[in-house]
Homo-oligomer: A and B are copies of this chain.
Amino acid sequence: MKKRHEILLRKLSNRGAYSYQELSDEFDVSTMTIRRDVDKLASQGLVIKTIGGVQKADAPSYFYETKLQSRFLVNREEKLAIAEKALELVRPGQTLFLDGSTTCQQFAKQLTRHSKGLTIVTNSALICLVMGEGTENTVVCIGGQFDKNTASFVGPSSEELSGNFFVDMAFLSTRGFVTTEGTFESSVGNLRIKQLVAEQCTELTLLVDHSKFRMRALCKAIDISKIKTVVTDDAAPEEELNILKEQGKQVYVATSNDVLKIEEDVVSAS
């Protein structure tokens, strides 16, 4: 590895992108030479060639999990809208629990931007990283066996530990939600932790996008009686929301700017 290569990588880690011209001036070599440097680094995946310059290759590919990444994109706008709405529920100085769902990741991102002085308890590695960047909040993580599908910690030692935490508000997402019964999960891993958290929080808030309503899954997780508040998006079925209100639940409906369903055919055909 050449000296210029090393320096270029370090420069990129400070500032995200440089033009060939800038680099040519700074290193005092021709743009052609810089181009050749960049070609080499790009072929190793260390940088990304852009038009007229070079950009840092953000995170090495192992920094994220592909399945999670794609799940992050499903109903992205609704999840963002729900996360923003949920911000209204948080009071200064509170202790919160967030599960490892992508909805809660969005929520964590919003919390990082708009709040400080909170204590966040989670069992998700990604939430820790999300909140780690420039946050003014304290983040506590429950350990345990790492589940790569959800990037969160599950199993006996998690459960033991989560039994020690008592939070003001728990924010949970779910796989399926039946308004007369409660929430459902399809994997037993997260089930137990969610149940423990539901037991030990003062208030339980459910973050559910419209696609979860009227869906059951393998196991019942949390009984409807434990849920105090529900935050969803404006595509959620009216009648279900009415059932919740009749039960005395607080219902928050977030309006997402642009709800566009994607024909799965088009995508899977590619």
Q: Are B132 and A148 in contact (CB under 8 A)?
A: yes
> Which of A82-90, A133-141, A195-203, A230-238 forms contacts with chain B?
A133-141
Q: Are A62 and B143 in contact (CB under 8 A)?
A: no
Q: Is A65 an interface residue (CB 8 A)?
A: yes
Q: Are A73 and B270 in contact (CB under 8 A)?
A: no
Q: Is A77 an interface residue (CB 8 A)?
A: yes
Q: A58-B58, A70-B10 known; A141 and B125 CB under 8 Å?
A: yes
Counting chain B CB atoms within 10 Å of each CB, the highest count among A6, A69, A73 belongs to: A6
Q: Which residues of B contact A58 (CB under 8 A)?
A: 57-59, 61, 63-64
Task: Report the minimum CB–CB distance from A167 to chain B (whole Å).
Answer: 14
Q: Which residues of B contact A65 (CB under 8 A)?
A: 129, 132-133
Q: Are B141 and A153 in contact (CB under 8 A)?
A: yes
Q: Is A14 an interface residue (CB 8 A)?
A: yes
Task: Report the minimum CB–CB distance from A200 to chain B (whole Å).
Answer: 15
In the complex, chain A residues 249-270 whose Cβ is within 8 Å of any chain B Cβ: 258, 260, 262, 266-267, 270
Q: Which residues of B contact A138 (CB under 8 A)?
A: 145
* Given A6-B260, A49-B50, A140-B145, 18 other A-B residues pairs in contact with their CB atoms under 8 A: A1-B260, A7-B267, A10-B70, A10-B262, A13-B66, A14-B270, A57-B58, A58-B58, A59-B64, A62-B112, A63-B126, A64-B129, A65-B129, A65-B133, A125-B132, A141-B143, A141-B145, A141-B146
Q: Which of B3, B146, B266 sits near A128, CB closer than 8 Å? A: B146
What CA separation (Å) do A61 and B112 show in the bound complex?
13
Q: Please list 10 pairs of residues, one from A and one from B, whose beta carbons are closer than 8 Å in the complex, sorted by A's number.
A: A3-B262, A10-B73, A11-B270, A49-B51, A62-B130, A63-B64, A125-B141, A132-B148, A139-B148, A157-B161
Q: Which residues of B contact A140 (CB under 8 A)?
A: 143-146, 157
Q: Which residues of B contact A246 (CB under 8 A)?
A: none
What CA separation (Å) do A141 and B145 show in the bound complex?
6
Q: Is A178 an interface residue (CB 8 A)?
A: no
Interface size on A, residues (CB 8 A): 63
Q: Are B48 and A48 in contact (CB under 8 A)?
A: yes
Q: Is A55 an interface residue (CB 8 A)?
A: yes
Q: Is A109 an interface residue (CB 8 A)?
A: yes
Q: Are A133 and B1 in contact (CB under 8 A)?
A: no
Q: Mark A142-156, 1 if CB is under 8 A from B, else 0.
A: 111110100101000
